[in-house]
């Protein structure tokens, strides 16, 4: 199992280039199921969740063609025939976003069999709101041996309000509605940029959608969708992670190929904390300052402070003057990184959904464990600021959503390297 070895204390300097948004690419790949024509997607990040989704689509009978070399961030998807409208447990258990195939399969094929995702490290993460939305469109949903089975004739447009805001729930039901008969009005929708990007792709495919990016989305169903080419938006979470990396190391970093508009909630808080941030058209320049001020944050659905940046922000607040109260309102168990940060010298007290980060505390390198994708990023950031060497184990979590993170950080001056098993697995030849 790969590990990252990081020697901290070196200010980052130079450029960190942002890739395509994993959480926009995943629904976009699922959208190819809605048409028998080929779909080409650009700016796709080369990360594990994308590889998992490509494998999942191939098991259904989708022809895929991932570019190589310079074209490696391009993927061609052709769902001319969907032979097996099923998402097996082996794949869904590694990536819950596989449930994004549910809506497209029911809409295109009239049937879908998708393994229930089960919980994950950050919470129970049910999909009840996805299922209620598809039932509202006329799908018959049953559960069978850990699988959700959905069947429908042609879906019918409906008026459906999400009980609570759900990003992939909005995306799943939106995709199904594009092929439903008549008008669908979806209320209390997620407004994330990834939802807007999906709607842009669907519109290029011939869907008739209004209101993406607002709480109410209206869809006029069409009989079929056609192929399209689409470039995925930049990854706002990778961009935010890089911005924090520049600040926590007291460096001078330009984060490029990003969309600053998608980072407003983070940038406002960082400016309140005293960070030097300058924003360009598609880049953000950050300079670490002597001392940041602690600023409280509560995560919220977009355009609020992203839950996917909470762990990274917590690492930064260990170096800020004062006590920052960080409230996680989206997931019930998203503070695992706090326990590992404390082992590195942080002073974080957990009170239910609130974490109180008292700073500044000097961090020292330690052997730590990654527990989920963004917690892993938080540990990398802390390690970059820590005195001495940190070894982060189970970084397969990180590889799900960050492409070559150690290479990008090394190019900006970090002392970071990836190592395989420090102790060769039993029976393996010692290297």
Tokens of 73: 């961030």
Residues 6+ away with beta carbon under 8 Å from 292: 247, 273, 274, 275, 316, 319, 320, 321
Distance from C-alpha of 124 to C-alpha of 21, rounded to nearest angstrom: 24
Q: How many CA atoms lie within 13 A of 300 on its CB side?
A: 9
Burial of 429 (0-12, 13-18, 19+ CB in 10 A): exposed
Q: Which residue has the tokens 């600040």?
A: 247
Give the SS3 label for residue 369: strand
Shortest separation between residue 23's beta carbon and ligand EPZ, angstroms: 4
Q: Which residues bind ligand EPZ (CB under 6 A)?
A: 23, 26, 97, 123-130, 164, 166-169, 194, 307-308, 330-331, 373-374, 401
32 among known catalytic residues:
no
- What gap in Å lies between CA 227 and CA 39, rounded to an integer? 5
Going along 232-310, which residue ranges are E strands? 252-256, 276-279, 283-287, 292-293, 297-298
Q: What angle do CA 107, 28, 256 make, to 5 degrees?
A: 165
Query: For residues 154 and 137, what is the distance between their CA atoms, to the nearest angstrom?
Result: 9
Are the beta carbons of 215 and 191 closer than 8 angstroms?
yes
Beta strands 208-210; 183-187: pairing state: unpaired
Spatial distance between the Cα atoms of 87 and 82, rounded to a whole number of angstroms? 12
CB 234 within 8 A of CB 240: no
Cα-based distances in Å from 248 to 237, 310, 328: 16, 14, 21
Query: What is the secondary structure of 106-154 as a DSSP string?
Result: HHHHSEEEEE----BTTB----HHHHHHHHHTT-EEEEETTEEEEE-SS
- Tell the smallest beta-carbon distance from residue 181 to ligand EPZ (Å): 24
Place of tokens 């590195």: 344
Active site amino acids: 120
């Amino acid at each position: 199992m790969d590990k990252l070895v990081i020697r901290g204390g070196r200010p980052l300097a130079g450029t960190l280039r942002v890739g395509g948004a994993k959480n926009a690419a995943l629904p976009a790949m699922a959208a190819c199921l809605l048409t028998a024509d080929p779909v080409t997607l650009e700016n796709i990040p080369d990360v594990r969740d994308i590889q998992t989704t490509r494998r999942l689509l191939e098991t259904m009978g989708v022809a895929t063609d991932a570019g190589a070399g310079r074209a490696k961030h391009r993927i061609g998807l052709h769902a001319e025939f969907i032979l097996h409208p099923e998402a097996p447990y082996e794949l869904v258990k590694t990536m819950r976003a596989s449930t994004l195939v549910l809506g497209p399969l029911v809409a295109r094929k009239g049937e879908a069999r998708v393994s229930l995702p089960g919980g994950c490290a950050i919470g129970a993460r049910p999909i009840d709101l996805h299922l209620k939305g598809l039932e509202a469109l006329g799908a018959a949903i049953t559960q069978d041996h850990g699988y959700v089975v959905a069947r429908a004739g042609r879906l019918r447009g409906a008026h459906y309000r999400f009980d609570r805001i759900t990003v992939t729930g909005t995306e799943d039901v939106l995709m199904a509605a594009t092929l439903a008969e008549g008008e669908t009005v979806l209320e209390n929708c997620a407004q994330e940029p990834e939802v807007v990007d999906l709607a842009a792709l669907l519109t290029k495919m011939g869907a008739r959608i209004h209101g993406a990016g607002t709480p109410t989305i209206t869809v006029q169903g069409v009989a079929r969708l056609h192929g399209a080419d689409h470039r995925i938006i930049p990854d706002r979470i990778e961009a935010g992670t890089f911005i924090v990396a520049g600040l926590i190391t007291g460096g001078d970093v330009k984060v490029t190929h990003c969309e600053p508009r998608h980072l407003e909630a983070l940038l406002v808080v960082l400016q309140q904390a005293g960070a030097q941030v300058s924003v360009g058209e598609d880049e953000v320049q950050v300079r670490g300052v002597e001392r940041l001020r602690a600023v409280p944050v509560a995560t919220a659905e977009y355009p609020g402070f992203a839950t996917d940046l909470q762990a990274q922000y917590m690492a930064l607040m260990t170096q800020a003057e004062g006590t920052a109260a960080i409230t996680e309102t989206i997931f019930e168990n998203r503070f695992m990184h706090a326990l590992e940060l404390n082992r590195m010298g942080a002073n974080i007290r957990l009170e239910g959904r609130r974490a109180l980060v008292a700073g500044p505390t000097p961090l020292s390198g330690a052997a730590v464990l990654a527990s989920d994708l963004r917690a892993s990023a938080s540990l990398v950031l802390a390690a970059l600021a820590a005195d001495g060497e940190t070894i982060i184990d189970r970084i397969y979590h990180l590889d799900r959503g960050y492409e070559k993170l150690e290479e990008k950080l090394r190019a900006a001056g970090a002392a970071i390297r990836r190592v395989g098993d420090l102790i060769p697995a039993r029976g393996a030849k010692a290297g």
